[in-house]
Amino acid sequence: MPFRAIFTDAINAQARRRIRARARYNRRVRSRERLSHVSVRTTALIVASALFMEQLDGTVLATALPTMARTFNVDPLQMNVALTAYLLSLAVFIPASGKVADRFGTRTVFRYAIALFTLGSILCGLSNGLWQLVGARVLQGVGGAMMVPVGRLVLLRSVERSELVSAMTWLMIPATIGPVLGPPVGGFLVTTLSWRWIFYINVPIGVLGMVLATLYIRDIKEEGRVDFDGWGLLLSGVSLSCLMFGLELASRGETSWLAAIGIVGVGLGSGALYVHHSRHHPQPVLDFSLMRVPTFGLSVIGGGLTRISGGAVPFLLPMMLQLGFGMSALQSGLITFTSSAGSLMMKGVAKPVLRRWGFRNVMMWNGLTATIFLGVIATFRPSWPLAGIYAALLVGGFFQSLQYTAYNTIAYADIDRTKMSAATSFYTTFQQLMLTLGICTAAAALGGSLAVTGHTHPLLIDYSVAFIVVALVALAAAPTCARLPRDAGDELSGRVSRKRTVQVALAAVKTETADAASIV
């Protein structure tokens, strides 16, 4: 080949490479420009689509548990292992979510998490036995462990503190619609088609979530070196899994107390080793130093006590309505969705209420009110008019949702942005731990009542005892909220600007008084 032809081909190849490089650069610029114009509301709603899928899955499953128990030929009380397995998987893998997102990017991890959750949903629908279902739920949990906290991390890194209440409210709207639709949709699918369809409906939602995340969520990575705490993940995973598995075994009463205590003891020992390890690691997978931040630490403790009821009610209420009242899955779902409808009604009033009365007052008195309505559920009987049951669940859901919104917001009020990934991992881990403990508490209270009364199967009085026990646990959160500073979260709710206006007005009055006195 002539030298001139070789030279021309080389020049053309170089020009083509430059054109392709320029095209890639232009695509990146257009992507950054598009993402820079994405509003906080849009980001919140996209992240919330993942929460919607997770919440829908959990509430639909709770409605279908009695039917699934008949399919698998097991006792309905044993089906709580399907709920616990998912929450257990969440608690084990959530601690790693922040570090994984910092290393590989929030958008990348978020998309793969949705894909894994969707795959687990398909396998749940194909299950032919309880332990196959448990294995698929564990896989779902791995996806959920990355999906929810990483999505929340995206939002926390995208908004100003003054916008955090509004962002959390928008985040919770689709996440609240999931529990609203879950019971009636689950009841309809179980009654008319098959319980397997309660998992297959996650597939289109998951695909849509991945597409929207690709188009509109910015891929944020932590600058600098990210040290992954492998030993910490191992120790925390052993600790959390043994604690929850031991409690779950004890609540079902299917093993000796000695074995359950031994498993819990291994969990406590591993936890102690992890605490020692975390004090000597520069970037521990669960950073307990965050508990020194008053708003964060008190939110973890108070929110944990409140969330025990959040884990117990979706387990107890459908079972009471179906097995105690003799309702079908569809009838039960049409009643239990009312609580979530009350949660949806709250979203428009959260910020004005918090601005008017402040986080501390709202969390104390609203928490007491929500607990009272939780106790009212213990008095439900078939003789109650349906309107009364609907009203109690609607109002109770309203106050309960306001409490969760306050906890989820105040937790990050004083957290530095460089600690956000560690804070979301820590907070979400203990949130899921308390939800799991709520299921175990409900099952243990129900089993304890059966043992005391000598009933062979749960009666209405046994469900009432379980609800009262859960309400008493939630009641212990009020003194914790009372320890919050009076001005906690004022910057988030907008009370700071209001206080400054009052202070300026008072200063002006004092100045005018002083001027008048000098004139006199």
User: Which domain CATH number covers 358?
Assistant: 1.20.1250.20
Same domain, 109 and 93: yes
* H/E segment holding residue 362: helix 350-376
What tens digit of pLDDT does each residue of 331-361 get?
Answer: 887 787 777 777 777 766 777 888 888 888 8
pLDDT at 353: 82
CA angle 300, 246, 138 (to 5 degrees): 75
In a domain? residue 192: yes
Do 191 and 142 share a domain, yes or no? yes
Q: Which of 148, 180, 205 is nearest to 408 (CA)?
A: 148
Confidence class for position 483, pLDDT limits 50, 70, 90: confident
Residue 142 resides in a domain = yes
Examine residue 351 and state whether it is found in any structural domain, yes or no. Answer: yes
Q: Do residue 318 and residue 201 come from a single domain?
A: yes
pLDDT band at residue 407 using 50, 70 and 90 as cut-offs: confident
Distance CA 71, CA 461 (A): 27
What tens digit of pLDDT does each residue of 102-126 get?
Answer: 777 777 888 888 889 999 889 988 8
148 and 217 assigned to the same domain: yes
Model pLDDT for residues 411-458, shown as the tens digit of each residue: 887 887 777 777 888 888 888 778 778 888 888 888 888 888 888 788
**pLDDT for the residue 254:** 60
**Residues 97 and 190 occupy one common structural domain:** yes
Residues 191 and 159 in one domain: yes
Tally of domains within the chain:
2
DSSP code of residue 223: S
Which of 87, 101, 170 lies closest to 441, judged by CA?
Answer: 87
The number of residues in the chain equals: 520
465 vs 457: CA distance, rounded Å: 14
pLDDT digits (tens, 9 = 90+) for 174-184: 666 666 677 67
Question: Helices then strands (H, E): number in the chain?
Answer: 20, 0
- The token pair at 65 is 């548990």
Judge whether 499 lies within some domain.
no
Q: Is the pLDDT of residue 497 over 60?
A: no
Q: Is residue 197 part of a domain?
A: yes
If 0-12 CB within 10 Å is exposed, 13-18 middle and 19+ buried, where does residue 370 land?
buried
Of 269, 284, 299, the position where a domain reaches its end is 284
Q: Which domain holds residue 138?
A: 39-228+285-488
SS3 343: helix
CA-to-CA separations, 423 to 98, 175, 244, 431, 485, in angstroms, rounded:
8, 21, 22, 12, 20
- Contact between 134 and 80 under an 8 Å Cβ cutoff? The reply is no
Give the model's pLDDT for residue 505.
36
CB 312 within 8 A of CB 470: yes
Run of H or E including 246: helix 230-252
The CA distance from 196 to 208, in Å, is 21
Regarding whether 264 and 159 lie in a shared domain, the answer is: no
390 within 8 A of 338, measured Cβ to Cβ: yes
Residue 410 CA from chain centroid, whole number:
15
Of 376, 319, 304, nearest in space to 342 by CA: 376
Question: Same structural domain for residues 44 and 97?
Answer: yes
Q: Which residue has the tokens 């080793």?
A: 273
Determine the Cα–Cα distance for residues 407 and 485; give it in Å rounded to an integer: 14
* 497 lies in some domain: no
Does 217 share its domain with 233? no
- Provide mean pLDDT across the span 458-472: 89
Contact 439, 83 (CB under 8 A): yes
- Residue 55 CA to chain centroid, in angstroms? 8
Contact 54, 148 (CB under 8 A): yes
Nearest alpha-carbon partner for 315 in 144, 66, 109:
66
CB atoms within 10 A of CB 153: 26
Spatial CB neighbours of 515, under 8 Å, sequence gap ≥ 6: none
Domain shared by 349 and 276, yes or no: no
Residue 457: which region, alpha, beta or left (left: phi > 0; alpha: psi -120 to 50)? beta
Same domain, 297 and 271: no
Is position 11 within any domain?
A: no
CA angle 164, 167, 169 (to 5 degrees): 110
| Domain match, 50 and 137 both | yes
331 assigned to some structural domain: yes
Mean pLDDT over the full length of the chain: 76
